[in-house]
Amino acid sequence: MTEPQPAPESATYQEIMTQPQAWREALQVVRGRAPLVRVLWSRAAPERVVFTGCGSTYYLSLAAAATFQTLTGVPARGVPAGELAMYPEVTYGPGKTLLVAVSRSGETSETLEAVRAFQRQERGQAMVVTNYPDSSLAQLGAVTLAIPAGQERSMAQTRSFASMYVATTALAALLAERADLLSAMEGLPELGERLIGAYEELARTTGADLALERTYWLGSGPRYGLACEASLKMKEMTLTHSEPFHFLEFRHGPKSMVGATTLVVGLLSDRVRAHEAAVLDEMRGLGARTLSLGEQDADVSFASGLPEAVRNVLYLPAPQLLAYHRAIAKGLNPDKPTNLDAVVVLDWGT
């Protein structure tokens, strides 16, 4: 029987494979806008930073907020835009907030409403990260980081997510005054190209194993948001049962679902690797198949030599390819996930 092969015309496949070019543009955009970003940061003098988005960009916000707080020391949170629009008092407190709104299209209704309400209520300054410089959201930012190279034809975000995530990581390094980290990030595009070439076959064979009926994605710290995003790609493209968890939380109940038809994917860190690797070891003991990603001694090894705080985008290509190849193996069209629209537009009555 002939194994399913990637369709050359697939937008999703092309977007995954070409994403390092968008990473490069994201770094260029942040460097080019750095003077404006610094002025805004000084003028805003925020007591907190809130990253927001919907779906994939909410998960991006979780990861971005964790990195931002770690590098700058300024309290930061990732919050769904719908929650900000409906229950702003749950997130905002006394003092000024810097709101960083992230949206691929710049037209998502909840995100637009969250930013407009934030501005009407004069809670602080707003920045925008998007792939469409002429979008409605882009016009609302005091500073907008627009990365056109991340634009996509497919519905499931891959290249767009990664490009905007690189931008938020570079933003954190910039505002932390870590020129060393910004310089180190210049190596990411080349590393991304190498990783994609080295591990696509592993992603294909793992994704094509239809004996695996459910997947769990584990990540700690800033990698939890990336685990959420990887899990979402599996749901969107492949209609496979998939859930994300913090590494140590997985032992507290969810491991009861583990068995021979389970794939557990771990986004291993340097800092607490021993604790995380122990969870994967335990899941293998329960019969699960495991897949590890990390800087070294992992199934997908980056061998980047980059500081941990700024290399996390390297966790994305292999899971994206795994989801893509699983969709192909199941006879699904990854460019058109079931029941999804590229942009969610709602009537807010405003």
Give per-residue pLDDT as tens, 188-209. Answer: 999 999 999 999 999 999 999 9
Q: Are 244 and 220 in contact (CB under 8 A)?
A: no
DSSP string, 66-109: HHHHHHH-S-EEEEEHHHHHH-GGGT--SS-EEEEEEESSS--H
In 3-state terms, what secondary structure has residue 244?
Answer: strand
State in words which class domain 188-329 has.
Answer: alpha beta
User: For domain 11-185, which CATH number applies: 3.40.50.10490, 3.40.50.300, 3.40.640.10, 3.10.310.10?
Assistant: 3.40.50.10490
The span from the CA of 298 to the CA of 293, in Å, is 5
The reply to whether 11-185 and 188-329 are identical in fold is: yes
The rounded percent of the chain whose pLDDT value lies above 70 is: 94
Phi, psi of 241 (to 5 degrees): -60, 125
In 3-state terms, what secondary structure has residue 52?
Answer: strand
**Burial track 99-111 (b if 16+ CB lie within 10 A, e otherwise):** bbbbbbbbbbbbb
pLDDT at residue 265 greater than cutoff 90: yes
Q: Are 290 and 283 in contact (CB under 8 A)?
A: yes
Give per-residue pLDDT as tens, 125-171. Answer: 999 999 999 999 999 999 999 999 999 999 999 999 999 999 999 99
Domain boundaries, the chain: 11-185, 188-329
Give per-residue pLDDT as tens, 76-102. Answer: 999 999 999 999 999 999 999 999 999
Structure tokens at 122: 């004069």
- Beta-bridge mates of residue 80: 53
Cβ-based neighbours of 174, under 8 Å, separated by 6 or more? 30, 34, 37, 38, 182
**Burial track 273-305 (b if 16+ CB lie within 10 A, e otherwise):** beebbebbebbeeeebbbbbbbbeebbbbbebe
What is the model's pLDDT at position 337? 75
